[in-house]
Chain A
């Protein structure tokens, strides 16, 4: 019988129920892998970290406060493990590898280019901005959940996300991926304004 709530699932896991443990991993592995892959930008590293994350989750499951949500708690562990992995990787040449990335639906060509540019822009963000951006836009987590996961106030999360979006949008503008008619119009308008001022 599948446990309905996270509390029940955790209770069974604490009794070493292999079925419950399997369910917990299956329930969160996609999300954890997504976060790890986006933060680490390397699929093999992400796989290793995901495995480590779940081992740590089960090891620390007794310390989980059932008054809190399980998902942000697991995502918090994932982010911490990613930070540790990044710290270890400082001297190693960084490689970006999205070999296992697959699309749920085939996007149009413009959208694909747009997505690729966003991906590069996100990769260039500051680590904490990147974490917030990934958790919000790719994992669909709320401000409160992100706040719980990375242990920061909601206001800080909002600020970081706003800055992350601004940087990504700036990158899109520089790459000319913002709708041409309006952007060109605006840029032309700006140029005209500047010329008029001169």
Chain B
């Protein structure tokens, strides 16, 4: 008995268990003389008998009723998702195409350059300098008119005594300055008027033609 025989016998055992060789192949001369191999052969026979006696497993229920609805529902869901994804992709493509095409349209570009967008109707706040100038002009005009209206009768009164030069001419007011009328002008006018009346009453002087205002 040598190791080679035992290895060969082991292969025979496997072949028998594989179903490639009949069970009788285990009854070899080597098995009759080698205790180890004989024990293996006996075990193999028992194993073969036991495997044949193994109960077949039978499914406890029909899995079709459980599986098919689940699979079909999953397929429907899958199809819906694919369609939704395709629709979203299409919409995104269209949007992207429009976004790329819109700014490059020649008409849009011409229109954009020719017709500027209307400016908002803004109300500018009034400038302080302009307001002051305007107020000054109005004040000077009013003052001038008042001065003229005041001085004209006095001029008429003093025409006979030729005191017209005594009344200083009022310089035309500059728009940026206040009127330059003398603050003593009314007093001077009154004084002149009084003198004129006195001269007329005394009569020492030739009367001058008086204009009626």
Contacts and interface: CB of A to CB of B under 8 A. Distances in A.
Interface residues of B, number: 37
B114 interface: no
Contacts, number: 142
B71 interface: yes
A114 interface: yes
Tell me the interface secondary structure of chain A in the complex: helix
A196 interface: no
9 contacts: A30-B56, A33-B59, A47-B61, A51-B67, A102-B57, A115-B53, A119-B54, A162-B14, A177-B50
A21 B68 contact: yes
Nearest to B51: A137
Given A59-B74, A107-B53, A186-B38, 16 more contacts: A16-B75, A21-B68, A25-B67, A33-B57, A33-B58, A51-B63, A54-B71, A101-B55, A111-B50, A115-B54, A117-B50, A169-B43, A186-B35, A186-B36, A189-B35, A190-B35
A12 B44 CA distance: 45
A111 B49 contact: yes
B195 interface: no
B71 A104 contact: no
A54 B38 contact: no
Tell me the interface secondary structure of chain B in the complex: helix
Contacts of B17: 165
A22 B142 CA distance: 111
Contact of B56 (A34, A108, A168): A34
